[in-house]
């Protein structure tokens, strides 16, 4: 079974993020880039499905600048078979991203697309859902367990206050939650082999899509500094302050 | 000049970090206090193929250079595993050099793949009670008897012998009195560590308790002649080939431990508040940490230069020695400052920096002492007369 895993490159969660003075974006010098952690879980799941079924192909894709190759190589080192880099240096909104992925789906014809439920940088949580809609495929978001039997897929979803199990026919789109699996680290032979695997760069213009963003980021702001707390003398005083000062009750 | 790592090297660093993250400080604390070999860690490193990093591909390794091996060892030590982690794999990573370069094809085919897979643990027995830095004066003797050699003698400080299946053993096949040059007449064996003939007695020591260090009493150990590495009498020269890589790797390990210590100290200095301010705001705390950071960076430059020279097949004796000297020193200072920064907590086991401090002390002694490094630089770099 062919599985497509689209992923995004994001700043390493361990880096301290600085916002540019004009609020147009984040300062990228000294930022270490990694595969979005939820997408890494998607890669791991795709590899496990392939290992379980003992057949198939895992294709990675990302949409970004030429140097995003590095993260694709990381995924190839983990064990994916080949990769596509849709090259652009323009920022794209989520709908355009979903449309680009849909184009690749049309060409590759995978039975399953697995991707992270959201990217940890902008937390949009939209691409998987939009993609399923564009393709007219079933979708299962926030997956914490995934099973495939023949042409059917069963997914346990993490929903508010519990778990929901859904079953649907393939082809389909699944987005991953944190508890689905723990991604592997690449072996040294894996790293060496990754350098020789196919990695195709495709200029985004060749896809013939309208890339005009429907969404524009107007400003980025750091969250306000937390104020120091205050000690209160009694429950009565607390209730009074919550009511009169904070106006919460 | 290019100081950048290649993408594949960057990837190795990233993936080794990810592997080591599964073995946090608590794991090493536990192994250190229970004096247990870190089998789980060793297994994970072996499974991921890193043990064979410098073993040629035709013998089951990846055939990479000392640069990659140094990055591996740096990250392994920097994870908090320090010398417990490094010594668990160090000998497999570098020690097979003499076998790779001088061993017979049969010996290589027979041993290297299993060593690269981690199925065979190997010790390295050079040092003797009466011959420390002065290697040519070793007394362990190997006598040929038909298709076998019979070996008798004592070795000291042999690391990992408790775990080892094999031992790379330096012996004298011709007594020192009978050779024209004292470096001649020595032979190297990749021998089975037969417990019937070799008594392994563990030594108590200051730190790195997860990996044992031992006295070996060798009593009529029979070793097939096919286990002889290269030619009889040339063992010392084979060993010399491996010294520079070992110094480079040890330097990288030292830098890793220094980084681990520094990162714990910096995190603590940001958070610990006494006298109404984080202690890191005091220059008495901040400046020594900054100084240690700069010294570790400088040591790393030397180390990576030495590694680059070695991989480019250029002479690197001076650089490898200087890297070991500076890195061992910078590491010791970083660990000491880390303990100091944590105050009374730094002296406590649960805060880990005292463990790094205990472990890194050995790097000023082994595999070559700081003094012998200075001897090397005085004589071979500066051209001063030999003092001993
Ligand atoms: C934890 C640990 C693990 C080890 N593992 C191994 C192992 O696996 N295999 C192995 O073979 N060995 C091992 N060693 C041994 C290590 O390589 C030796 O300790 C080292 O070579 C020094 O030898 P020595 O201890 O006998 O010191 P000595 O040679 O007795 O030296 C003692 C002191 O005198 C100084 N000194 C000696 N000669 C001179 C001189 N000419 N000029 C100036 N100063 C001098 C030295 O620098 C040192 O400070 C290990 C050691 C330790 C501590
Ligand atoms: C083995 C041991 C036994 C002990 N026994 C006892 C005991 O029996 N009874 C007892 O009461 N206590 C005992 N102590 C506690 C000891 O006295 C304290 O560890 C010591 O006073 C330091 O306090 P601290 O560890 O909280 O360090 P902190 O006060 O947190 O200081 C941490 C670091 O910051 C530095 N620092 C702090 N403020 C400044 C500043 N303004 N300028 C520059 N540097 C600064 C300190 O010098 C130190 O290096 C013991 C400690 C140890 C290690």
The domain spanning residue B57 has which CATH number? 1.10.540.10
Interchain contact, B7 vs A70, CB within 8 Å: yes
B63-89 pLDDT tens trace? 999 999 999 999 999 999 999 999 999
Q: How far apart are CA B290 and CA B357, in angstroms?
A: 18
Q: Residue B354: its pLDDT value, please? A: 98
For chain A, 249 residues long, give each residue's pLDDT as a single digit of tens.
999 999 999 999 988 889 999 988 899 888 999 999 999 999 999 999 999 999 999 999 999 999 999 999 999 999 999 999 999 999 899 999 999 999 999 999 999 999 999 999 999 999 999 999 999 999 999 999 999 999 999 999 999 989 999 999 999 999 999 999 999 999 999 999 999 999 999 999 999 999 998 988 889 988 888 888 888 999 999 999 999 988 888
B192 and B91 in a common domain: no
pLDDT in tens, B22-46: 999 999 999 999 999 999 999 999 9
Please indicate, yes or no, whether residues B372 and B262 belong to a single structural domain of this protein.
Answer: yes
In a domain, B386, yes or no: no
CB neighbour list of residue B365: distance below 8 Å, 6 or more residues apart: none
Across chain B, where does the E strand assignment appear?
Answer: 122-125, 141-145, 148-159, 166-172, 186-192, 198-202, 213-224, 273-274, 277-278
Which three-class secondary structure state does DSSP give residue B217? Answer: strand
pLDDT in tens, A121-130: 999 999 999 9
Please report the pLDDT score of residue A69 as a whole number: 96
Contact B11 A187 (CB under 8 A): no
Distance of CA B7 from the midpoint of ligand 2 (Å)? 45
- Smallest CA-to-CA distance from B11 within A13, A40, A5, A73 is with A73
State the distance from the centre of ligand 2 to the C-alpha of B30, rounded, in angstroms. 26
Q: For residues B227-233, give the mean pLDDT.
A: 97
Considering the entire predicted model, what is its pTM?
0.93
In a domain, B288, yes or no: yes
In a mutational test of the A interface, the residue from B6, B12, B15, B53 whose CB has the highest number of chain A CBs within 10 Å is B15
B61 and B129 belong to one structural domain: no
Structure tokens at B304: 């990576």
Q: Judge if B300 and B165 occupy the same domain.
A: no
pLDDT for B1 beyond 90: no
Lining ligand 2 with CB less than 6 A are B 272, 274-275, 279, 282, 284-285, 340-341, 343-345, 347
The total of structural domains in chain B comes to 3
Task: Point out the residue among A73, A187, A194 whose CB comes nearest to the CB of B49.
Answer: A187
| Residue B344 CA, ligand 2 centroid: distance in Å | 5
Pocket probe for ligand 1: among B158, B163, B367, B375, the residue whose CB has the most ligand atoms within 8 Å is: B367
Residue B211's domain comprises 122-232
Same domain, B66 and B89: yes
- Residue B287 shares a structural domain with residue B361: yes
In a domain, B355, yes or no: yes
Q: What is the pLDDT of residues B338-372, one digit of tens each?
A: 999 999 999 999 999 999 999 999 999 999 999 99
Residue B43 falls within a domain, yes or no?
yes
Three-class DSSP category at B268: helix
Domain assignment of residue B318, yes or no: yes
| Co-location of B241 and B377 in the same domain | yes
Domain stops at, among B232, B249, B278: B232
Residue-wise pLDDT for B104-125, tens only, equals 999 999 999 999 999 999 999 9
Task: Determine the Cα–Cα distance for residues A17 and A25; give it in Å rounded to an integer.
Answer: 10
Same structural domain, B24 and B140: no
pLDDT of amino acid B285: 98
Looking at residue B227, what is its pLDDT? 98
Residue B183 Cα, gap to closest chain A Cα (Å):
38
CA distances from A85 to A51, A104, B251 (A): 24, 10, 39
- Looking at the domain assignment, is residue B21 inside a domain? yes
Question: Which ligand sits closest to the CA of B376?
Answer: 1
Residues sharing a CB contact under 8 Å with residue B78, sequence separation 6 or more, in sequence order: B255, B256, B257, B259, B260
pLDDT of residue A37: 97
Q: What pLDDT does residue A216 have?
A: 85
Does one domain contain both B148 and B101? no
Confidence at B241, pLDDT banded by 50, 70, 90? confident
Whether residues B14 and A74 touch (CB distance < 8 A) is answered with yes
B241 with B376, same domain?
yes
Domain C-terminal end among B215, B232, B249:
B232
Domains by residue range for chain A, with CATH: 2-244 (3.40.50.620)
Q: What is the pLDDT of residues A215-246, one digit of tens each?
A: 888 899 888 888 888 889 999 999 999 999 88
For residue B355, the domain's CATH number is: 1.20.140.10
Same domain for B107 and B79: yes
Q: CB distance from A74 to chain B under 8 Å?
A: yes
* Residues B126 and B162 placed together within one structural domain of the fold: yes
Average of per-residue pLDDT values in chain B:
97
User: Do the domain assignments include residue B298?
Assistant: yes
Of B89, B117, B145, the domain-final residue: B117
Q: What is the mean pLDDT of residues B265-272?
A: 98
The answer to whether A37 faces chain B, any CB pair under 8 Å, is no
């Amino acid at each position: 079974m062919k599985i497509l895993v689209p992923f995004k490159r994001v700043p390493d969660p361990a880096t301290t993020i600085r916002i540019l003075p004009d609020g147009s974006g984040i300062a990228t010098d000294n930022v270490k880039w990694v595969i979005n952690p939820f997408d890494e879980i998607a890669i791991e799941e795709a590899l496990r499905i392939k290992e379980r079924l003992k057949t198939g192909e895992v294709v990675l894709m990302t949409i970004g600048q030429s140097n995003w190759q590095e993260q694709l190589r990381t995924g190839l080192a983990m064990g994916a078979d080949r990769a596509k880099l849709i090259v652009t240096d323009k920022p794209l909104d989520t709908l355009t991203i979903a449309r680009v992925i849909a184009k690749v789906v049309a060409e590759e014809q995978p039975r399953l697309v697995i991707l992270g439920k959201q990217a940890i940088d902008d937390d949009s949580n939209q691409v998987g859902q939009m993609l399923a809609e564009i393709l007219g495929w079933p979708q299962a978001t926030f997956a914490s367990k995934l099973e495939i039997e023949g042409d059917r897929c069963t997914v346990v979803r993490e929903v508010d206050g519990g778990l929901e199990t859904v079953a649907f026919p393939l082809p389909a789109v699944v987005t991953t939650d944190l508890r689905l699996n723990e991604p592997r680290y690449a072996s040294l032979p894996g790293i060496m082999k990754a350098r020789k695997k196919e990695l195709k760069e495709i200029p985004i213009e060749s896809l013939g899509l309208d890339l005009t963003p429907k969404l524009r980021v107007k400003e980025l702001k750091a969250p306000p500094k937390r104020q120091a707390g205050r000690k209160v003398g009694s429950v009565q005083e607390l209730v009074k302050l919550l009511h009169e000062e904070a106006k919460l009750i | 000049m290019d100081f950048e790592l290649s993408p594949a090297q960057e990837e190795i660093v990233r993936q080794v970090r990810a592997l080591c993250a599964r073995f946090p400080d608590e794991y090493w604390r536990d192994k250190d206090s229970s004096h247990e070999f870190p089998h789980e860690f060793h297994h994970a490193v072996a499974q991921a193929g890193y043990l064979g990093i410098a073993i040629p591909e035709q013998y089951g390794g990846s055939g990479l250079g000392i640069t990659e091996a140094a990055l591996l060892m740096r990250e392994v030590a920097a994870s908090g595993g320090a010398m417990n982690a490094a010594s668990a794999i160090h000998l497999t990573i570098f020690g097979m050099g003499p076998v790779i370069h001088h061993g017979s094809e049969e010996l290589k085919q027979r041993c290297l793949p299993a060593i690269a897979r981690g199925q065979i643990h190997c010790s390295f027995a050079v040092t003797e009670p009466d011959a420390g830095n002065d290697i040519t004066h070793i007394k362990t003797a190997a006598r040929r008897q038909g298709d076998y050699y019979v070996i008798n003698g004592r070795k000291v400080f042999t690391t990992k012998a408790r775990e080892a299946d094999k031992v790379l053993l330096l012996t004298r096949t011709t007594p020192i009195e009978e050779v024209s040059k004292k470096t001649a007449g020595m032979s190297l064996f990749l021998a089975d560590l037969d417990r019937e003939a070799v008594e392994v007695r563990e030594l108590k020591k200051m730190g790195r308790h997860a990996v044992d260090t031992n006295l070996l009493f060798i009593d009529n150990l029979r070793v097939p002649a096919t286990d002889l590495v290269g030619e009889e009498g040339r063992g010392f020269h084979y060993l010399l080939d491996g010294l520079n890589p070992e110094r480079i790797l040890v330097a990288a390990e030292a830098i890793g431990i220094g980084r681990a210590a520094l990162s714990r100290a910096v995190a603590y200095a940001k958070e610990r508040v006494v006298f109404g301010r984080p202690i890191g705001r005091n220059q008495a705390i901040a400046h020594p940490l900054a100084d240690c950071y700069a010294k570790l960076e400088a040591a790393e430059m030397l180390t990576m230069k030495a590694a680059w020279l070695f991989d480019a097949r250029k002479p690197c004796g001076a650089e490898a020695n200087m890297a070991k000297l500076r890195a061992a020193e910078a590491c010791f200072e970083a660990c000491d400052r880390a303990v100091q920064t944590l105050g009374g907590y730094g002296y406590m086991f649960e805060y880990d920096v005292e463990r790094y401090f205990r472990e890194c002390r050995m790097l000023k002694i082994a595999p070559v002492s700081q003094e012998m490094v200075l001897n090397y630089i005085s004589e071979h770099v500066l051209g001063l007369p030999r003092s001993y």
